[in-house]
Homo-oligomer: A and B are copies of this chain.
């Protein structure tokens, strides 16, 4: 399909083979791939080349290698997305501002979709989380905050958005973990964030997209402000 006329690299044979097997339904999630030695024979290439492909797919999250057992088709892309974003960040392809903009946009979308899809049980769970956020001491704040946002994302019923939001969250943790903690600790920002959170949950309860929009704007207004201060301190 995408062979360039020129000969394709050996390891690409493996990747394309796996893709083909998936598309013709010969290989499904959870199933075991042919052994590496077997693959090398099937495709007429060396095991080294097979391994380069397997490693790549493994690192991408398509498969999962288990020594002694085999290579299994899995499809866990979370790590890959995080890795990818991290690399982009490290290579200065993207910065905080861009990550934050994307996050804001997707959180908004997720909240809107959640309004359409969330169940009463999920709302109850969210209520519990924000009530904990109010009473709990600062130790678990970060975890609870993440949980809240994640649960909203889940209610969007859009796996892709969930994936990306999760990855963005992890990357932010990785590079500015302290900031998150600080926002949730300082009395003033904590208070306003709590109001924003309450608004978001309330918007889910009464299914009000206007309130949702306002609340999320308030929420990220706080974050963006802190981020700006933070960047100022750094540079």
Give A residues with C-beta under 8 Å from B: 11, 19, 22-23, 29, 48, 51-53, 55-56, 59-60, 62, 73, 75, 77, 80-81, 83-85, 87-88, 90-94, 97-99, 101-102, 105-106, 108-109, 113, 158-161, 163-164
Contact = CB atoms under 8 A, between A and B. Distances in A.
Chain A interface mostly: helix
A75 B51 contact: no
A83 B102 CA distance: 21
B105 A87 contact: no
A169 B60 CA distance: 21
Given A22-B91, A90-B19, A160 B99 contact: yes
Contact of A84 (B60, B106, B109, B158): B60
A29 B91 CA distance: 7
B56 A160 contact: no
